[in-house]
Amino acid sequence: MIKLIELEDEYNLQAMKQGEYPREILDSANRVIIILTQSWCPDWWAQKLVFKDIEDTGEIKVYYVDYGNKSFRAEFTSFKETVFRNGHIPYLRFYRDGELEKESNYTGRRELKKWLES
């Protein structure tokens, strides 16, 4: 099972200020997924189940921010929709070796396994 790690507020605030998450997060593993979501979203609940079915080989870190109840919710929503240009949730950003490789609003088991094996 791949563990989901909640991003600390400081990293989300840095992302809003810099336009991207800090290198400390992006370089924390060969492959990194950052998920921007809100707890009420049924697609988020479904997405979490996908990560439970994937074996954690130690080569991936999956971070998430549930910004729906954050004090900076309005600012973060605006940032996500204008800078990252995605108004849907959940929103997944896939990084390989610290560089953004793809974006999605959902990834299934097969698609995730294929990305991890490529």
Host H or E run for residue 103: strand 99-104
The C-alpha angle 61, 19, 101, rounded to 5 degrees, equals: 45
Residues in the chain: 118
- For residue 86, the model assigns a pLDDT of 97
Which letter does DSSP use for residue 118 in this model? -
48-82: pLDDT as tens digits: 999 998 888 888 999 999 999 999 999 999 999 99
Q: Average model confidence (pLDDT) for the chain?
A: 96
22-40: pLDDT as tens digits: 999 999 999 999 999 999 9
What pairing do the DSSP bridges indicate for beta strands 91-96 and 31-37? antiparallel
Which letter does DSSP use for residue 27 in this model? T
Please state the rounded mean pLDDT for residues 92-102.
98
Dist. CA 45–CA 14, nearest whole Å: 26
